[in-house]
Structure 1
Amino acid sequence: MIKVLIVDDDKLVRKGISSAMPWNEFDMEVVGEASNGAKALDFLKTQPVDLMLTDLAMPVMSGIELMRAARQLYPELHIVVLTLHQDFDYIQEALRLGAIDYIAKVQLEKEQFEHVLQRIHTRINGLTSTIRKMPSLDEINVHYRNVYALVSQERKSEHKWPTELTAHEDEIRWEVERNSCMWAAPPSEEDQLFHQLKECLHQVPQCTLLVLSDVQERTWSQIKNWIMSYTESSLFYVYNPNNQVITISMNEEDTCSNEPQDEDLDRIKQSWFQTPWTHHESYYNQLIDQFISLRLHKGQLMGLLYSIVMEWNRIFAQTTLGRIAMIHSFESWYEVEEWIKQTAASIRKADEQTSYSQEIIDAVKKAVMIVQQDLEQAYTASGLSQQLNISRSYFSQCFKDLMGKTFNEYSRFIRVEKSKEYLLNTNNTIFWIAERVGYSDEKYFSRIFRELTGLLPSEYRQLGRGNK
């Protein structure tokens, strides 16, 4: 039984997650709750916990601080981040600290509870190798030429796999897990088995038939584990409804990367915001190749996509450049790429509503991202217009028309918005925060903050944490 601890400063969220999700169906049990990181650490000292779901933004000790402490004290603890947080840096920090999954609270609708727990359960099984025992034959070496596996990308429900397909008594059929099953038959029966399994593809949603070679001298248990690993990593990217039969050798190495590098994630984010990928096929293909090359696990990919969408909408939703809709669930890279294509179309449509050329729109987007990514730098409209090779007056006019604020107004606005996050989610001094958002004078920063919010930074921090 996987013992679960839920950490969130909102009591209703804790109770809702604890009572509404079908924990028992996935061999899980909620053993405790905590309202902040400090109380969570106290609980971990007294009771064994296998899985911790934690919010990021909490008083006393934030989720990030809790993760750092828990990772040192309890290296075997599995952690899932549960948050509404919109800042890309916080999301990537959670992934760097070893979070096995990232769940946006907006995803936790009733019909997705089972799907979320299935994903977490599968991830824990893959990391700990705690795989259900197979029949007594599982340690016997395979003597068949090939092993066949039907694998469904749809994991929300159990599938009814066909029973014995050939008349031969040596036919083997074993369920791998709830979304996959494998077969084997003697050479004389292989063609019949293969064609019957192909006929089954249309009966199971999002299904792929794997034909595994080089299976001799391996145990059934090893083959089962290989199928589970391949399904979780490579098949996620290979699946295509137009090519449902895949022949693969078990000697092939898995190319999935478990540890995305910060510079690779940053490169994707920069490409999304700063290259005209929505309007040019070469840039689009480059962006897709960058995504695929990382081979991110599904949870990591969801976290990356969610952070990109939230940042885009935070920056552009209230402007003429438009809002994009998040992909709330997916079972394969094929679905993700379909969503990216639809997103590109919606961005193009929003761009077409303006009177400016695509070159000018892209330049304004690039200017926005330059400022966003380096708030400590004191950028000016004059300096950016020169960098973008546009006259200052025209740049200022375009910026205000597209972003709804003058450059100076926007610059102050985003610095104050970033400082709000620091105030609520860190214990750093006002001077430290002022420097991080581009103000070397703490008093001047406080005056600007008060002009835009009606409160001093210290008052905002106290009020925000008091409400929580």
Structure 2
Amino acid sequence: MIKVLIVDDDKLVRKGISSAMPWNEFNMEVVGEASNGAKALDFLKNQPVDLMLTDLAMPVMSGIELMRATRQLYPELHIVVLTLHQDFDYIQEALRLGAIDYIAKVQLEKEQFEHVLQRIHTRIDGLKSTNLKMPSQNEINVYYPNVYVLVSQDRKSEQAWPIELTIHGDEIRWEIERNSWMWAASHCEEDQLFNHLKESLNQVPQSTLLVLSDVQERTWSQIKNWIMNYTETSLFYAYNPNDRIISVSMNEEETFSIEPQDDDINRIKQTWFQTPWTHHDSYYGQLIEQFKSLRLHKGQLMGLLYSIVMEWNHLFAQTTLGRIPMIHSFDSWYEVEEWMKQTAAGIRKADEQTSYSQEIIDAVKKAVIILQNDLEQAYTASALSQQLNISRSYFSQCFKDLMGKTFNEYSRFIRVEKSKEYLLNTNNTIFWIAERVGYTDEKYFSRIFRELTGLLPSEYRQLRREVK
């Protein structure tokens, strides 16, 4: 029977996990609870425990501090981390300290209890059944010239990892994270290990085999941490389903920006909205290079793409120029490029449905961007058509056909929409708001606003804030 200790400063969480999960079905028994790390250590002194579930953020002694202590005092203790959030830094530190799994409490629903315990039980059994060497974190690697890492970009599904894969020799095998395993073998057995791992690539979805060199004279903790950082950053860009073996050196330095600069982000958006990248390979390549040159972390890249999609759909979703499907979470840059190719094809198809040339379509899109980016400037159809080198009458006709509104209707519409944001999110005067959306006459602005909404600006602000 696997004896379990639950450590969490929230009593309801402890009671809920203790009573709701089907422990007996997996040969487990909850033998104790503790409200912080210090009390957990006191419990461990007096009673044997095989598995400890611990929260990370606790008073007196945090989960991280508790894990550091138990690694020294009870090296055979299996640890699973409970966390309220998917905070990578906390989870990464917990995995460095030897946690065999982590559970996000916000995702822990009744139907998942059995699945979670099955996964934990399988991992404990796997660690017990193996006779492979597991070096200590601070031990220096002297014998192994290379480290092999089988890692999957797919973090959504629960794949069956080939943990039974071993050559039964002088070998190290180590689970780094839920989606990656590390192997090392002596020089005479390396070829056999490499061939086994190469053959196993097809067993694991979206997998890559990393051949890591320059690993000698480094601690196993340093090697493990380097692998975790690489798989969270560089591998996102390096993954290619058509070239699934990557040789990489631990001496390689990361080239990721700490924080993207506003100028760089604005340059990408300008290329997206103001160049015909969807129709010309040279502009498409330019946009791809701008994205890749920033080396954004996955979360930053997803945020940028999301903002671009939202802005595009805000401008064009209700027109003949079409909308861009909302993005999902991409696991690699390869998937991002595939999405961009599909997006370009969708925009081209929407453009082809019109009777206008690509040059005219691009001119109308540019006019829309100019209007949106400078609402304080009272642009006229005549001024914009001259700037775009198109006759006023033809520009007005094209604009109405493509955008579904006359130029003046569209201009008033976007100004009123922006003024709504100011009315709800600021306490600035109506005159101030009118100026920010291109109206120097407050009374005229209020009349236009009422024509489009049925309310005066002051009435709109009062009614909408009461609803909130």
TM-score between the two structures when normalised by the length of structure 2 = 0.72
2:88 — aligned with what? 122
**For residues 410 and 2 of structure 1, what CA distance do their matches in structure 2 show?**
56
2:285 — aligned with what? 285
Contact 1:118 1:155 in 2 (8 A): no
1:449 — aligned with what? 449
Q: Measure how far apart 1:137 and its partner are.
A: 0.8
Secondary structure of the corresponding residue to residue 277 of structure 1: coil
Q: Is 2:194 aligned against 1:194?
A: yes
**For residues 167 and 232 of structure 1, what CA distance do their matches in structure 2 show?**
29
1:133 — aligned with what? 97
Q: How does 1:115-264 map to 2 (within 5 A)?
A: 120-122=86-88, 124-125=90-91, 129-134=93-98, 137-143=136-142, 144-163=144-163, 165-264=165-264
Q: Measure how far apart 1:168 and its partner are.
A: 4.7
**For residues 159 and 455 of structure 2, what CA distance do their matches in structure 1 show?**
57
Q: Measure how far apart 1:462 and its partner are.
A: 2.0
State the Cα deviation string for residues 41-100 of structure 1 (Å, max 9, x = none): xxxxxxxx97xxxxxxxxxxxxxxxxxxxxxxxxxxxxxxxxxxxxxxxxxxxxxxxxxx
Query: Where in structure 2 are there 5+ consecutive unaligned residues?
Result: 1-6, 11-55, 58-82, 99-133
Q: Measure how far apart 1:366 and its partner are.
A: 0.6
Contact 1:439 1:445 in 2 (8 A): yes
Larger radius of gyration between Structure 1 and Structure 2: 2
Instruction: Give aligned pairs, total.
Output: 359
Contact 1:168 1:189 in 2 (8 A): no
State the Cα deviation string for residues 238-279 of structure 1 (Å, max 9, x = none): 111001000011111111223011111111111111110111
Query: Where in structure 1 are there 5+ consecutive unaligned residues?
Result: 5-48, 51-116
Q: Measure how far apart 1:283 and its partner are.
A: 0.4
Q: Measure how far apart 1:151 and its partner are.
A: 1.0
Indicate the larger mover: 311-320 or 348-357.
311-320
1:86 — aligned with what? none
Contact 2:159 2:205 in 1 (8 A): no
2:309 — aligned with what? 309
Secondary structure of the corresponding residue to residue 154 of structure 1: coil
- Higher RCO (CA 8 Å, separation ≥ 6 residues): 1
**For residues 266 and 91 of structure 2, what CA distance do their matches in structure 1 show?**
30
Contact 1:166 1:192 in 2 (8 A): no
**For residues 418 and 125 of structure 1, what CA distance do their matches in structure 2 show?**
41
Contact 2:320 2:350 in 1 (8 A): yes
**For residues 135 and 182 of structure 2, what CA distance do their matches in structure 1 show?**
16
Q: Measure how far apart 1:215 and its partner are.
A: 0.8
TM-score between the two structures when normalised by the length of structure 1 = 0.72
1:55 — aligned with what? none
Secondary structure of the corresponding residue to residue 148 of structure 1: strand
State the Cα deviation string for residues 113-147 of structure 1 (Å, max 9, x = none): xxxx9993335545xx4544136611111121111
Secondary structure of the corresponding residue to residue 266 of structure 1: helix
Task: Using the aligned pairs only, state the percent identity.
Answer: 77
Distance 1:361 1:124, change over 3 A: farther
State the Cα deviation string for residues 404-456 of structure 1 (Å, max 9, x = none): 11111111111111111222233333333222222233332222111111112
State the Cα deviation string for residues 268-314 of structure 1 (Å, max 9, x = none): 11111111011100000111111111122222222211211121111
Contact 1:159 1:178 in 2 (8 A): no
Q: How does 1:311-330 map to 2 (within 5 A)?
A: 311-330=311-330
Q: How does 1:414-425 map to 2 (within 5 A)?
A: 414-425=414-425
**For residues 427 and 245 of structure 2, what CA distance do their matches in structure 1 show?**
55
Contact 1:145 1:213 in 2 (8 A): yes
Q: Measure how far apart 1:459 and its partner are.
A: 1.8
2:439 — aligned with what? 439
Contact 2:167 2:193 in 1 (8 A): no
Contact 2:154 2:205 in 1 (8 A): yes
Secondary structure of the corresponding residue to residue 401 of structure 2: helix
1:64 — aligned with what? none
Q: Measure how far apart 1:336 and its partner are.
A: 1.2
1:362 — aligned with what? 362
